[in-house]
Amino acid sequence: MSRASFSPPRLLSRLGYQRADCETGYVSAIVPYFGSPTTDSLLRPDMPFSSRIVLHLCETLLQTTNGHGFHLFTDRFYTGYDLAMELLKIKIHLTGTVMANRRGLPAPVKQGLKLKKNESVSFSKDNNVMVLGWKDKRLVLMLSTFHGSDCEKVQRTIKRGEIQELDKPSVICDYTSKMGAVDRADHYCASYAFTRKSLKWWRKMFFWLLEVAIVNSAILFNLMKVESGQLPVRHKTLRKALLVQLVGNVRNPGSRKRGRPSSTDREERLNEKPHFIAKNEGKSTKDCAVCSDRKTKGGRRETVWFCRTCSRQPGLHPGDCFERYHTMDTYR
């Protein structure tokens, strides 16, 4: 059985809706959200948008795969009785937390369940949908077309390292272990994100899709490693290798940013060819590359003179500073 996780987008981390594999976190489908154009393009206008987007992603799954017996995990933003019945028609099971005010839930659930700690109660509707309430620290409501009301023994560490054993509904145990694949993929994207703030939505969308593609490729690469009996590679290591392959030996020789002089600068200033000094006619000044030191209090030395022969055009005081820069390997 294939299992997929589905959770709502967060405005700061995602620009659309995603479907991800529960075991690996591989993002298998994305629907960018553009407002009303996205809403109008979905099927079943008689249903809420939260149900329509789920049905759309499930339909694309069935159209692009030959599998069957899919199991979808959703959070309470999406889960509902109507959605569960529609998914059953296309032979997809649904499990998720659910809000008490959803349409189609049993009357005792809507009126508010009063349960003791670690007590559970379940309801069955049409012999297809199970609604379960379980009281832990707070009341948890679950809806599932796959699970029953059976429980399993679990251990929990409480105060002072004491181990407590309790009966926990199997539907909650399964949901806890399977839900969160989309969040896991977002975590990988956010850990080494190279996106920047931008008013251009298409730019942010492009870099977001690029991040998802990098994460997906890392997941597939490690799956192949494990299948061949090798150890998986860290995500950070894969990103570094990809960066080296994409950038290669490309450099920007025309950059004038401050920083440690490169080997190209050294060859240029010590080439024993004539270098000519020039004066900036404007009001702007530069730090002297030889005698200025911003790390020391009061050590900054500015000048309007610079070497116009060097491509970096460093600021230099006429005389000793100019001579040291073009004759000495270590001029500071």
Q: pLDDT, tens digit, for every residue of 219-274?
A: 999 999 999 999 999 988 999 899 888 887 776 555 555 555 555 677 788 887 88
Q: What is the mean pLDDT of the chain?
A: 85
Tokens of 191: 């850990």
- Parallel/antiparallel/unpaired status of strands 92-97 and 163-169: unpaired
What percentage of the chain reaches a pLDDT higher than 70? 91
225 in helix, strand or coil? helix
Q: Rounded to 10 degrees, what is the CA torsion of 194, 26, 184, 245? A: -30
- Name which of 239, 199, 195 is nearest 215 in CA terms: 239
pLDDT band at 24 (very low <50, low <70, confident <90, very high): confident
Q: Domain ranges in the chain?
A: 3-181, 192-250, 263-327
pLDDT per position as a tens digit, 175-226: 988 887 777 877 888 888 777 777 888 888 888 888 899 999 999 999 999 9
**DSSP 8-state code for residue 233:** P
pLDDT band at 43 (very low <50, low <70, confident <90, very high): confident
